[in-house]
Amino acid sequence: MKAYSLTEFLTTSALLNYQLCSKQLNWDSITMVILEGRPISTEDQNILSQVFDYLSNVYGKMERNLGPLSILHPIRATALLCRASEKIDLLDMMTCLLHDTFEDFKPAQFKDSDWINLDTAFQSFLLALPELDQRRLREQLQWLTKEPSENYYHYIGHLLDEAGGRPPVVRVKLADRLDNTLDMRIDLQDPMQGVDFFEIAFQTVFTNTYKGYLPGKPHQPTVILNGAQRLYQLFKNILLLSLIRQKKAAKDDEIARALFEALAQASMMEAQRIALHVFGYHDPDTAKFRGILMDTMAYSQSGGFDQVTPPNPTSRLNGLLMTVFDQPERESRKEQLKGLYNDKAFMIEVAVAFVIIFLNFMNDPDYYIHGISAEGVRPEL
C-alpha cells in the first residue's frame, strides 16, 4: 500500500462527501472514487449499488462525531481497503461496507414496515451472491460485530479467534481502524505537512540554540475531539496491532500486512501531531520538552515499551496503558482522559511514547506489547 497521507485522505473524504450530498446520488461515481477508476463488472456494480441503497436507507441522516454523514465511514474504509488490494474482491468490499450494520442497527430502532423493507433489501443483494459467499458474508459480519458486554480487547481477541484463517475479516478491521484514525480532524491539509518531528526532537535534545517549535498557523481550539481523546483512539490501535501480531493474523496475507503498516504509520503520525500541537501551543518550554524526550528515550531503552508495566512512582510512564487508558467504564475513562488533557506535559510524554511504540511496530515484524491479550491489559507474571 502506497504511503497515504492525511492530506490525501482529506481530499478523498471531501470528494466522497460531495457526492453523498448530491440531490441525485450516483453510486457509479462513488464506486469510481473507491476504486480509483479501476474497472468492475456490470454485475458487481449492480450488487454494489444495491448495497449502497441499503446503506443510504439504514444510515439515513445519521452523522459522525465530527459532523459528516455516518455513511461516509464505511465507504471511506472500503476505499482504504481497495487501495491496499491489487485485485478487486466483491465480497471484501461488501464486508467492509456493511461491517458496522449488525452492531449499529436493530429492529427496535425502526418502524416495523421500515425494518421489513430494509431486511428485504439486504436479502435481495445477498441472494445475488453464490451460496458459499452468502454464508461467508453473514459469518464475517457477525464476527465483526462487537457485543455490548465486550471490552475492546475481548472483542478483538474473539474476532481473531473466530475468523481463524479468514484474512478478509482482519483486512476489514484494519481498514476500519485506519479510517477512524485518519478521521479525527477537520482540516484542509495535514498540520504536519512541511514539519519534521524528528528534526525538532534532534534539535531540542542536541543543541542549545534551538528556540522551539513555532506552528505556522494560529491556534484553533478543538471542541469535538481533543488530544487526550485522540490518544485514547491510538491506544485502541495499540491493542489491535498487538493482538494481531500475537496471533500472527496478518503474517501470511499481503493486503492485511499493508493495512497493518499503514495503520501503524498513521498512528505514529497522529501521535506526532498531538505532541507538537501541545508543545507549540500549550507548553512551549524547550527545556521541559528536552527533559521529556530524554526521559522517554531512557524508558524506551530500558524496555518499558516492550511490555505492560505496573504503576510505579519512578516514572509516570509505568502503568500508562493500565491506569490512563484501560478504563472499561465510560465515566471512569472520561475522568482519566480529562486529567490527561489538563496535564499538558504528560500529554506530550504520552504522545512521544506512542510515537516510539508505533515505530517499534513498523521496525520489527515480531514486535508487540507483552501483557496485552484478549483477557485484558496487565503485566505478565
Q: Model confidence at 368, in pLDDT bands (50, 70, 90)? A: very high
One domain, residues 10 and 78: yes
User: What pLDDT score was predicted for residue 138?
Assistant: 96
One domain, residues 250 and 134: no
Q: Which of 98, 116, 143 is the last residue of a domain?
A: 143
The reply to whether 373 falls in a domain is yes
Listed in sequence order, the residues at least 6 apart from 80 whose beta carbon sits closer than 8 Å to its beta carbon are 4, 175, 178, 179, 259, 262
One domain, residues 343 and 237: yes
Percent share of the chain, pLDDT over 70: 98
pTM for the whole structure:
0.96
pLDDT digit string (tens) for 98-143? 999 999 999 999 999 999 999 999 999 999 999 999 999 999 999 9
The reply to whether 166 falls in a domain is no
The reply to whether 255 falls in a domain is yes
One domain, residues 129 and 190: no
One domain, residues 58 and 204: no
Which amino acid type is present at position 112?
D
Beta bridge partners of 370: 307
Whether the pLDDT of residue 223 is over 70: the answer is no
One domain, residues 283 and 363: yes
One domain, residues 84 and 196: no
How many domains is the chain partitioned into structurally?
A: 2
The reply to whether 162 falls in a domain is no
Beta bridge partners of 307: 370
**Between the CA atoms of 104, 110, 115 and 121, what dihedral angle is there, to the nearest 10 degrees?**
-60
Q: Which of 99, 127, 143 is the last residue of a domain?
A: 143
pLDDT digit string (tens) for 251-297? 889 999 999 999 999 999 999 999 999 999 999 999 999 999 999 99
The reply to whether 149 falls in a domain is no
Taking the C-alpha atoms of residue 99 and residue 95, their distance in angstroms, rounded to an integer, is 6
One domain, residues 207 and 326: yes
The reply to whether 167 falls in a domain is no
Q: Which of 121, 143, 165 is the last residue of a domain?
A: 143
pLDDT digit string (tens) for 310-331? 999 999 999 999 999 998 888 9
Instruction: Judge whether 97 and 74 are in contact, CB under 8 Å.
Output: yes
Question: Coil, strand or helix: which one is 333?
Answer: helix
Whether the pLDDT of residue 1 is over 90: the answer is no
The reply to whether 151 falls in a domain is no
Average pLDDT along the chain: 93
Mean pLDDT for 188-195 is 84
Whether the pLDDT of residue 216 is over 90: the answer is no
One domain, residues 95 and 244: no
The reply to whether 354 falls in a domain is yes
One domain, residues 343 and 233: yes
Lowest-confidence range among 7-11, 245-249, 316-320? 7-11
User: What pLDDT score was predicted for residue 192?
Assistant: 86
Taking the C-alpha atoms of residue 46 and residue 52, their distance in angstroms, rounded to an integer, is 10
Q: Model confidence at 3, in pLDDT bands (50, 70, 90)? A: low
One domain, residues 269 and 322: yes
Listed in sequence order, the residues at least 6 apart from 340 whose beta carbon sits closer than 8 Å to its beta carbon are 228, 231, 324, 346, 347, 350
Q: What is the extent of the structural domain holding 112? A: 6-143
Instruction: Judge whether 246 and 238 are in contact, CB under 8 Å.
Output: no
Q: Model confidence at 187, in pLDDT bands (50, 70, 90)? A: confident
pLDDT digit string (tens) for 12-65? 999 999 999 888 889 999 999 999 999 999 999 999 999 999 999 999 988 887
One domain, residues 195 and 334: yes
User: What pLDDT score was predicted for residue 2?
Assistant: 59
Sign (positive or negative) of CA dihedral 263, 266, 272, 277: negative
Percent share of the chain, pLDDT over 90: 82
Residue with cell 516510539: 356
Taking the C-alpha atoms of residue 94 and residue 139, their distance in angstroms, rounded to an integer, is 12
Residue 66 sits in a domain whose CATH number is: 1.10.3210
What letter would DSSP give residue 283?
-
